[in-house]
A and B are shown apart, each in its own frame.
Chain A
């Protein structure tokens, strides 16, 4: 005979303001099998949990129903409380009176009636609950880090330094990401390359890190602690073992007019190339789309000059299969290009550039060796206009969010320009100056007060070219919206930071959710910023939202800590809510007839064949068996099974029917 306890939570006023909680508790006490029913202001609080524990002990409860918030919020809390009082945690169920009732309905009679129904359903279900034990699964103590920018580099190093293995994949020929493109970094103006390249080298040399560049994730299966990933190593057409990185091929390649991605199109490169001199690994790849041999079948100049015979035109893509316990997404972001802005010329003006292009102009390793020169004619601009919020915070452009980093890098750009061109004049159009961060506002003030950058609060409505100058039309909203026109030699747009190309596809591969702007979604905006909704997959850096370097590095170390915690045990526990094929006494053994339709239905390849033999070893029948390590409890096999031989533990057909009947018998 069941002895069920019902505990109705007010959730402060979240539930009690709409639902008559006292009436729900009273109605629950009248349900057959309920021996205890109370309501309380905060059931999740310590005194609330004590109410549950006490009742279990005093009333000898065989099942608990908590009517409160979503099980996503507090199921672990209440199950732990039950467990502490000696009740199997899987005999505790939650009825969601908040998200499913009080938050979505008006205060009236029907709302309370619905709450009572929800309780009644759960009481009927819990009567049929069986005690279950958590499943233990082994943990593969290798992490897969996707993306080799500063986020991926930092998290890889931190995980590797805890003694665990890391596989780092990067789709470009070199690690380094956007940080390697930057000139100097705010708020200290130290050289980006100088602080980054040592870490890049450290990654390459770390005994616990396996680095695959020019590689992308092909597919992933499995679950936390036990992922199987396929990695596509794109053919570099260069044998990495034979190549010494001498660079002779890159000087001899006749196809020299390919826009250089690393320089954001401001310079040219060859078809066989190393993205930049400090690249890691410092070995070239052949860009097949632009290689004369691949396109026309003739050339082979690189092969002719290569002293170590490292060029391999027929090298195929390679698919690697790896087993990992955790995956960290560090795929970064990109910036909107100037051709996104019709009002600023759609990219038709060569000297209207993005902030990232300005970084390359200001960088000592850039196309102008650090001199600020116009891309069109190489002249040093006498007047530069910087436009902050180009696209950002502009719902009309489909980007309502703040890109966060632009206020700071725009101040830095203006400052760098003033430092390099003393007679130059710089203007910054801005909406607000968002310089929240240690030493950030001081940095912006320095740009204004010491380097005499002219800050104009207002937006730019149009940029057009006239007589060799760019006319920048805007408004000065501090002067009552007075129109301002500046004749500039160069314009730098702080274009919005947006999610990286392919982010959506990658998220779908990994079953990670993403927001409307294709940034990956964290599990909780405040308390789980690093976790995703898929256990074992973590986020770091600008793939979650635009971020600056310190924040990215902090998050990367955070992700490493999460992974280290996961890898600290040899086994991890999983909820036992998985499918089981029934087993019975001989001579039937199981109602399973061995059709194996379930095997074709299972998306996780969790169904195995089991042969049942007698003592002499003679085969009696072959039946289905669920691998508890692989099963995700989705229930597809249950729906497919013709002989009703499979059930999900904790969610059996019988339990579901009894919930429905509780509603119908009302």
Chain B
């Protein structure tokens, strides 16, 4: 089976381990990921605050390229990219005039009926049905599933999971043998794009998330967004500084946890690339 693949910038740079683990898993289930050729920026953060048409044209061009390749379904592991592409698709389908305008801007045919999958939707659809027999090493840890803001919001566009108290990752990790904690920080802000510009704010916001996970005895935090991962993992010194304690709970992508349970080696999953050391 071949699935379209939109990596976006993070998966090519700061979160290469996310790409690596996604590929490692899909390969194990004989799914070939075909990258959309000549893809461009999804416009996250900047575009939709500056220019509405640009913020729609950028994702539309990506989707048009995928259509040109004959793709029907594409995987978008980054939560921000997923949110931008889904929002653009929704906005354009709602407004035919705007759609015509954007088609003119991108200069390509665009139908708007591509099926978009985030990592959890992809796992639910193609991996979990045949998962049980393939689990070699159950992930027997107490974990905190952290969804962040963009994976489940806005509900009226994504129609995926419960926006205030999402469950999809919790259900998935249970199947891997892990015990998800019941906590209230699943969708609290990690600091997002302030990662570069205001690290102290990230230290505080992500710090509160890490504090609650620690207090509830989580042994790992599970994420599905490169930005969340960057803030919770790479900004750990700032977090520790804010908390006044050294917290060494690792932050894993859901795909990495799944990979470990499937017995895939650490290197293929990119586990050595983390700032906070991941112990088995």
Contacts and interface: CB of A to CB of B under 8 A. Distances in A.
Contacts of B162: 342
A466 B215 contact: yes
A346 B212 contact: no
Nearest to B166: A342
Interface of B: 155, 162, 164-165, 182-184, 188, 212, 215
Given A342-B165, A471-B184, 10 more contacts: A342-B162, A342-B164, A343-B164, A345-B184, A348-B182, A462-B184, A462-B188, A464-B183, A464-B184, A466-B212
Which one of A342, A345, A463, A464 has the greatest number of beta carbons of chain B within 10 Å? Answer: A342
A471 to B, nearest CB: 8
A464 B215 CA distance: 13
Interface in A455-472: 462-464, 466, 471
Nearest to B162: A342
12 contacts: A341-B164, A342-B162, A342-B164, A342-B165, A343-B164, A343-B165, A345-B184, A346-B165, A462-B184, A462-B188, A464-B183, A471-B184
Contacts of A396: 155
A interface SS class: mixed
B194 to A, nearest CB: 15
- Size band of the interface chain A makes with B: 10 to 19
B167 to A, nearest CB: 10
Contacts of B188: 462
Interface in A293-308: none
A466 B215 CA distance: 9
Nearest to B216: A466
Which one of B155, B165, B215 has the greatest number of beta carbons of chain A within 10 Å? Answer: B165
A348 B184 CA distance: 12
Contacts of A464: 183-184
Contacts of A343: 164-165
A471 B212 CA distance: 12
A350 B53 CA distance: 49
Interface in A439-484: 462-464, 466, 471
A463 B184 CA distance: 8
Nearest to A396: B155
A341 B165 CA distance: 10
A564 to B, nearest CB: 49
Contacts of B182: 348
A577 B170 CA distance: 65
A387 to B, nearest CB: 15
A238 to B, nearest CB: 44
A128 to B, nearest CB: 48
B114 to A, nearest CB: 27
Contacts of A341: 164
Contacts of A471: 184
A109 B212 CA distance: 70
A345 B184 CA distance: 8
B166 to A, nearest CB: 9
B187 to A, nearest CB: 9
A493 to B, nearest CB: 14
A464 B216 CA distance: 12
A395 to B, nearest CB: 10
Nearest to B165: A342
Interface string A329-360: 00000000000011101101000000000000
Nearest to B211: A466
Nearest to A344: B164
Nearest to B164: A342
Contacts of B164: 341-343
Contacts of A348: 182
A348 B183 CA distance: 12
A141 B95 CA distance: 58
Contacts of B212: 466
Contacts of B165: 342-343, 346
Interface string A471-513: 1000000000000000000000000000000000000000000
Closest 5 interchain pairs by CB? A464-B184, A342-B165, A342-B164, A343-B164, A462-B184
Which one of A345, A348, A462, A471 has the greatest number of beta carbons of chain B within 10 Å? Answer: A462
Contacts of B184: 345, 462-464, 471
B145 to A, nearest CB: 15
Nearest to A465: B184
A109 B271 CA distance: 74
A73 B184 CA distance: 55
A650 to B, nearest CB: 46
B200 to A, nearest CB: 16
B240 to A, nearest CB: 20
A346 B182 CA distance: 12
Which one of B182, B184, B188 has the greatest number of beta carbons of chain A within 10 Å? Answer: B184
Contacts of B155: 396
Interface string A396-407: 100000000000
B204 to A, nearest CB: 11
Interface in A413-451: none
A264 B212 CA distance: 33
Which one of A341, A396, A463, A471 has the greatest number of beta carbons of chain B within 10 Å? Answer: A396
B151 to A, nearest CB: 16
Contacts of A466: 212, 215
A343 B182 CA distance: 13
A463 B212 CA distance: 13
Contacts of A462: 184, 188
A462 B184 CA distance: 7
A396 B165 CA distance: 14
A466 B184 CA distance: 10
A484 to B, nearest CB: 14
A339 to B, nearest CB: 11
Nearest to B154: A396
Contacts of A463: 184
Which one of B155, B164, B183 has the greatest number of beta carbons of chain A within 10 Å? Answer: B164
B232 to A, nearest CB: 19
Nearest to B185: A464
Contacts of B183: 464
Nearest to A467: B215
A463 B164 CA distance: 11
A342 B182 CA distance: 12
Nearest to A346: B165
A340 to B, nearest CB: 11
A398 to B, nearest CB: 12
Nearest to A348: B182
A161 to B, nearest CB: 51
A342 B162 CA distance: 9
A464 B155 CA distance: 22
B185 to A, nearest CB: 8
A280 B215 CA distance: 52
B155 to A, nearest CB: 8
A462 B163 CA distance: 13
A464 B184 CA distance: 6
Contacts of A342: 162, 164-165
